[in-house]
Amino acid sequence: MTIRDFGLIPGHLPAGPRNAITDVAGVRVGHCTVRSARHNTGVTVILPRPQGQDIYFHRCTAAAHVLNGYGKTAGLVQIQELGQLETPIALTNTLNVGLVCDALVDYTNAACAAHGQTLRSVNPVVGECNDGTLNLIAERAVGAAEVNAALQSASPDFEQGCVGAGTGMICHELKGGVGSASRVIEADGRAFTVGVLALCNHGQLRELNVLGRRPGEAIRRRLQTPPRPEDKGSCILVLATDLPLSSRQLGRVTRRCAVGLARCGSYWGHGSGDIAIGFTTAHDLDREAPCAVQTLEVFHEDRLDPAFLAAAEASEEAVLNALAAAVTTTGYDGTTVHALREFADLLK
């Protein structure tokens, strides 16, 4: 289920055929979900290159932007310094970042061995949100086996909602999770795609804005729950595009993911780790290229406005899709978090 199944169409730009980050050619997404009496958690991976082409040897131009730094994300420093991505991007819960990093190192080590090389350094990129309300997070239920399962399942077609890293997430005090959306823009007779995947675990119910509808207070009256005084949690947004952008330009586009969060009612509270990571598949930064100088196609700076709008619209819809796809979930201690779909009548 997506927000469009509620009869609501976000934005003005056309979506891609899947309306997902995987509308960017070659990009794949995989999940591994851990669900039991004690756990509602998992891991989600975004692979930027098509099957058979490893990201470590065919790196992508990349950028990252921290909206609010209450987070434990790994790998941003090198992305900001070098403007390159050299591993899949993994998303999980807060206390599993280290174990997921280990698994990405092992993944890259195996890729190097297949190329007859020895790995000496790698920058694994892992984003996190805290699912401790619904998941017994201290038991760290996500490790190498779960990461490998997510990598093996990676496909252009993937589930949204309470799956993978989104299994235990809460968004605007409703059940959150993984959501995705895409937008297509044109320049010089060519079509380009901007896609976003959001891991949503942020926001207050009273601030929730669904395309101008403010259902929060009515939902609260039905649930008969007290308001949460703080905006705490996190949202990790991953932006993919095939636009030929420099790292600096990609940073400009990636920062516009914040517009989508704001449209949905987030103000990036003190306790919320809100981070956007972007990459473009347009450049193949070949690790084994024999020449010292590479010539890269770069988009015209003065014509970036449509890309900015695409990032904003795709981010907004990705958050709304995470809410729409989620289902009511009960955690390990009996806490129940209700899904937006229970209140669809309030969105009319």
Active-site positions? Answer: 234, 272, 274
C-alpha 76/C-alpha 66 separation (Å) is 9
C-alpha 234/C-alpha 38 separation (Å) is 22
**Other Cβ atoms closer than 10 A to 152:** 11
List CB contacts of 335: < 8 A, sequence separation 6 or more.
Answer: 133, 134
Query: What is the three-class DSSP state of 339?
Result: coil
Residue 224 burial (C-beta neighbours within 10 Å; 0-12, 13-18, 19+): exposed
Return phi, psi of residue 285, to 5°.
-85, 80
The string of DSSP letters for 13-78 reads SPP-SSSSGGGSTT-EEEEEEEESSS-EEEEEEEE-S-TT--TTTEEEEEEEEEEEE-S--BSHHH
